[in-house]
Chains A and B, each alone.
Chain A
Amino acid sequence: MFGLTKRDTTLLLVVAVLTIFAPFILNPFPEGSAMAQFNAGYPDLMQRLVIFGIFAIGFNILFGLTGYLSFGHAAFLGVGSYAAIWMMKLLTMNVIPAIMISVLVAGLFSLLVGWISLRRSGIYFSILTLAFAQMSYSLAYSVLTPITGGETGLQPKVNDPRILDAALTEGQNPRANLFGLEMGTSYEMAVGGWIFTFNAGYYIAAIVMLLAFYLSIRIFRSPFGMMLRAVKSNQQRLNYTGLNAKPYTLAAFVISGMYAGLAGGLLVAMDTQVGAERMFWTASGEVVLMTILGGAGTLIGPVLGAGFIKYMENIVSKINKTVLEQWFAFMPDGIEDFFITIVYPFVGKGWHLTLGLLFMMVVIFLPGGLVQGGQKVAGLFKRKKPVDDKPDGKTTPAE
């Protein structure tokens, strides 16, 4: 189906089903129960999960296939975001032009950065991309304040021109929409103790994510993808056969830059503001971590990694002492205090600690990332060795 093999079709369908039913899957605990803290089925986080999924899928096309480790992809996300918000300020609050321009601008910017950076390989390439991203961040935060808003960023304002939109009525705020359907529109369904939220913005982002995922499968399975893998396994040999690898890697770089721009545009569409921190090197590092954590070079890994990190950031950071007291309230006083003392450093303001520990655990025990963990679990149930379906997995490059 869709020009994919049976395995890939299954994978795509599984991802599609998971995304469509995410509002149920992410809200497994009834409201008001102590575990409701772990529910992630609210619009903002669901949107972020799929958007950063797109970002990581795109990054994986470059890193997973060619092995080129870019440390500057956040710059493309940021540039895309700025382009999108300017569309919203000048043209219309409709998200379509904003998203299109963000992909386009990020694509052009990545063409420039890629054209220069791809003259080098290995860590020299990484540092070149890092340098471009850090320059973008520093300039956006300071000298370019008239264009980027600097520290306070950009938001759509009531008195922006917006030449395609009808004038706002008094008291109305500019809101991102798709031909009138506002991104924030939600339907809530109460079933027993559960509440499931179906958000328009989430489903738009989810559809885009599925398309992006489908496209990435096609790229992985295409002759072009084959060529990129050849770059990773032995560029020298490729050169000896008379092929110039540069156009292929540059194409991969620009494609992944456009994915980043798409993610940036969607971020603005869902939450209409941009700040320069989006381009700081830690943001570039985050997408690297997402990809490696999930499993670089695998199709689904980056999405898992993105979801994992965003979930930690948004859920664990909100657990405070009061919440812990609720959880452990059933215990006798002394033991309750003991447990709270043990757990407290790892949640709330300590969420970074938990994240760091998990990074280490995953990479130590699951060298192939979360995907490998999933395969191990699956292998236990199948009672047979999991099929080696990762021709695109890690291969140590031959020297």
Chain B
Amino acid sequence: MDAILLQILNGLDKGSAYALIALGLTLIFGTLGVVNFAHGALFMIGAFCAVTLSRILTLSHTVIDETQKDFLGNPLKVEVPYIYDIFGQTTGDAIIDWAVPLSILFAIPVMVGIGFAMERGLIKHFYKRPHADQILVTFGLAIVLQEIIKYFYGANPIPTPAPDAFRGSFDFGAMLGFDPNTIIYPYWRLVYFAFAAVIIGAVFAFLQFTTFGMVVRAGMADRETVGLLGINIDKRFTIMFGIAAAVAGLAGVMYTPINSPNYHMGMDFLVLSFVVVVVGGMGSLSGAVLAGFLLGILESFASMAIVLETLPGINQIIIYLVAIIILLTRPRGLMGRKGVMEE
């Protein structure tokens, strides 16, 4: 029982990452009709916003410490962040410690800007082109973006820890009356889950309850008619692309303490997020979220030792197996609309 509870918790957490990435992907698809293979790269760039901010905060000047030696036997050069000079060491340390949450503020304008630039500069010329061309151009863009990041940050993962206050884990087991240590969960992952819930809720509310959202939804349903009504749908679509980019970027920022970011993390998530979107049903926001959580939970169950003993290797294929079963039983995914991407 406690093992199952633990894996459900795990699955929700995993699922929230999948859902966040898939949400932006399906948003772009639903509004613009574009298959965006560069969406994983946006997630990755978001993560590197966090890396960049913590690099900025720790910009240092060197002080030579004669008492210690470096690896060549020369006096050790100690790096002192400028921020110490401004705020003093204690405050400076605290600011550096909170680099990841602070990056949210930094990432939003950056990601929205990148989203606008991408849509205006490249994607808008591809609305009428076949999906194959969209795939080729966005895939090319994804490679370019990740190579640029690799050029500046290297190929190795870069540790970006969560603030000290969020280290360690929370003992759910003790709270629910199980033995201590049976159901523990890291604080930061709980934060991630809550964060994802807020973002997903905000996107839904925005589309549901604002006039802007209403027009966008109308545009998703019938772009031509909305255009004929004299509404500048293109401008709104640009904004939607910016929002989708920001959602992917924020998912990336908050993910950095969970796993150290590297330049190819976007590609690692790309295929998975496509599977999530399609299982949920192309163009369906709620489908993407539902599929994200579903696949997250199933993946967690498949990794349990007892499951692996009966079905070796099931953890390798579970997501794809489930995707096949769902697509065969539900032709348009869990919540897809008829006629979307079926030609």
Residues on A facing B (Cβ under 8 Å): 63, 67, 69, 116, 119-124, 127-128, 130-132, 134-135, 138-139, 141-143, 235, 281-282, 285, 288-289, 292-293, 296, 345, 350, 352-353, 355-360, 362-364, 367, 394, 396-397, 399
Known: A352-B147, A367-B133. A128 touches B282 (CB 8 A): no
Residue of B275, B279, B342 ringed by the most chain A CB atoms within 10 A: B342
Task: Say yes or no: is B135 at the interface (Cβ < 8 Å to chain A).
Answer: yes
B52 to chain A, nearest CB (A): 19
B135 pairs with A292, CB closer than 8 A: yes
A367 pairs with B143, CB closer than 8 A: no
Q: List 24 A-B contacts (CB under 8 A).
A: A63-B132, A116-B328, A119-B328, A123-B282, A124-B341, A130-B275, A130-B320, A135-B316, A135-B317, A135-B320, A138-B316, A139-B316, A353-B143, A353-B147, A356-B139, A356-B147, A357-B140, A359-B136, A359-B137, A359-B139, A359-B140, A363-B137, A367-B129, A397-B343
Name the one of A134, A363, A394 contacting B140, with C-beta atoms under 8 angstroms.
A363
Closest B residue to A69 using CB positions = B132
Cα–Cα, bound, A119→B341 (Å): 14
Cα–Cα, bound, A267→B117 (Å): 43
Task: Kindly list 18 other residue pairs between chains A and B, CB separation below 8 angstroms, not including A131-B324, A355-B140.
Answer: A116-B328, A121-B343, A123-B131, A124-B341, A127-B279, A127-B327, A128-B323, A138-B316, A350-B147, A350-B151, A353-B143, A353-B144, A357-B144, A359-B140, A360-B144, A362-B136, A364-B137, A394-B130
A340 to chain B, nearest CB (A): 15
B331 pairs with A356, CB closer than 8 A: no
A177 to chain B, nearest CB (A): 36
Name the B residues within 8 Å of A139 (CB-CB).
313, 316-317
B327 pairs with A120, CB closer than 8 A: yes
Known: A289-B139, A293-B136, A357-B140. A130 touches B151 (CB 8 A): no
A292 pairs with B327, CB closer than 8 A: no
Cα–Cα, bound, A138→B136 (Å): 25
Cα–Cα, bound, A218→B201 (Å): 56
Task: Say yes or no: is B271 at the interface (Cβ < 8 Å to chain A).
Answer: yes
Name the one of B143, B279, B321, B328 contacting A356, with C-beta atoms under 8 angstroms.
B143
Name the A residues within 8 Å of B275 (CB-CB).
127, 130-131
A356 pairs with B144, CB closer than 8 A: yes
Name the A residues within 8 Å of B313 (CB-CB).
138-139, 142-143
B278 pairs with A124, CB closer than 8 A: yes
Residue of A116, A138, A139 ringed by the most chain B CB atoms within 10 A: A138
Cα–Cα, bound, A106→B276 (Å): 28
Cα–Cα, bound, A394→B136 (Å): 15
Cα–Cα, bound, A63→B133 (Å): 13
Interface string of B126-157 (1 = CB under 8 A from A): 00011111011101111110011001000000
Name the one of B271, B274, B317, B341 contacting A122, with C-beta atoms under 8 angstroms.
B341
Cα–Cα, bound, A239→B122 (Å): 37
B341 pairs with A285, CB closer than 8 A: no
Closest A residue to B147 using CB positions = A353
Task: Say yes or no: is B35 at the interface (Cβ < 8 Å to chain A).
Answer: yes
A143 to chain B, nearest CB (A): 3
Name the one of A63, A67, A132, A359 contacting B324, with C-beta atoms under 8 angstroms.
A132
A143 pairs with B133, CB closer than 8 A: no
Name the A residues within 8 Å of B144 (CB-CB).
353, 356-357, 360
Chain A to chain B: the 9 pairs with minimum beta-carbon distance, closest first: A359-B140, A356-B143, A143-B313, A131-B320, A138-B316, A353-B147, A360-B140, A356-B144, A122-B342
Name the A residues within 8 Å of B122 (CB-CB).
360, 364
Task: Say yes or no: is B235 at the interface (Cβ < 8 Å to chain A).
Answer: no
Interface string of B273-285 (1 = CB under 8 A from A): 0110011001000
Closest B residue to A121 using CB positions = B342
B327 pairs with A128, CB closer than 8 A: yes
Task: Say yes or no: is B75 at the interface (Cβ < 8 Å to chain A).
Answer: no
B35 pairs with A143, CB closer than 8 A: no
Cα–Cα, bound, A132→B325 (Å): 12
Name the A residues within 8 Å of B342 (CB-CB).
121-122, 124
Closest B residue to A131 using CB positions = B320
Name the B residues within 8 Å of A116 (CB-CB).
324, 328
A143 pairs with B316, CB closer than 8 A: yes
B315 to chain A, nearest CB (A): 9
Cα–Cα, bound, A282→B271 (Å): 10
Cα–Cα, bound, A150→B277 (Å): 30
Cα–Cα, bound, A69→B135 (Å): 11
Task: Say yes or no: is B61 at the interface (Cβ < 8 Å to chain A).
Answer: no
B328 pairs with A123, CB closer than 8 A: no
B140 to chain A, nearest CB (A): 3
A132 pairs with B135, CB closer than 8 A: no
A246 to chain B, nearest CB (A): 15
Name the B residues within 8 Å of A296 (CB-CB).
132
A365 to chain B, nearest CB (A): 11
Cα–Cα, bound, A281→B332 (Å): 23
Within 8 A of A (CB), among B297-343: 312-313, 316-317, 320-321, 323-324, 327-328, 331-333, 341-343
Cα–Cα, bound, A123→B130 (Å): 13
